[in-house]
Amino acid sequence: MQEGESGETSQAIGEKLRQIRKDQRLSLHDVEQQSNHEFKASVVGAYERGERSISVARLIKLCEHYHISPASVLPSEKTIDLTSIDGQPHRVVIDLGKIANNNHAEAMVIGRFAQSVHQQRNNSSGRYLTLRNDDIRILSAVFGKSIDEFIQRLSDINLIADLDKLSSVL
């Protein structure tokens, strides 16, 4: 992600967060009060103005507070086809068993994300999670990485499933 794109992304996310808050007829003070001061009015305002970037963990928590999906907040002006990279079919499958003992911060956030995705997809069991286009778009955006950089980071911290072993299971 280019330096300017990061600021544009923060601005776009902030505008969506403001619109959602206003649609729910909440003031910044209401958000602070209802969240038991977990979200300070001044910080939420800074997120909304794009003056402050929001971490993936905070975005997920704030979206939970608003009872919305984090995907609904992310900008979608660009269509990204993740079914292929450089013309080659590509699947990103996370091995959920590798998350529990992984001490990287990203693994903990991805674990929380995976838990939320499993609940939304009514798939509470299973060891593997295939990331969909929007999943990767969300995660790469909140980590401030390009899609390729994000997928490489998943590989670097050993979260991607061994597809050879996976094909024999499926």
Confidence of residue 1 (pLDDT cuts 50, 70, 90): very low
CB-CB contact of 131 with 93 (8 Å) = yes
CA distance 72 to 106: 21
Q: Does pLDDT of 60 surpass 50?
A: yes
**Nearest CA to 147 among 85, 89, 102?**
85
The residue type found at 44 is: V
Rounded (10°) angle between helices 133-142 and 56-66: 120
Q: Which two tokens stand for residue 118?
A: 């499993």
Most confident range (mean pLDDT) of 29-33, 62-66, 74-78, 131-135 is 29-33
What is the greatest pairwise CA distance in the chain?
Answer: 54
Q: Render pLDDT for 83-129 as a digit per residue (tens, 0 to 9).
A: 444 444 456 888 888 888 888 888 888 888 887 777 676 554 567 88
Beta strands in 105-144 (DSSP E): 128-130
- Options 1.10.260.40, 3.90.800.10, 3.10.20.30, 3.20.20.70; CATH for 3-72 is 1.10.260.40
Domain 84-169 is found in CATH 3.40.50.12240: no
Q: Could you tell me the residue ranges of all domains in the chain?
A: 3-72, 84-169
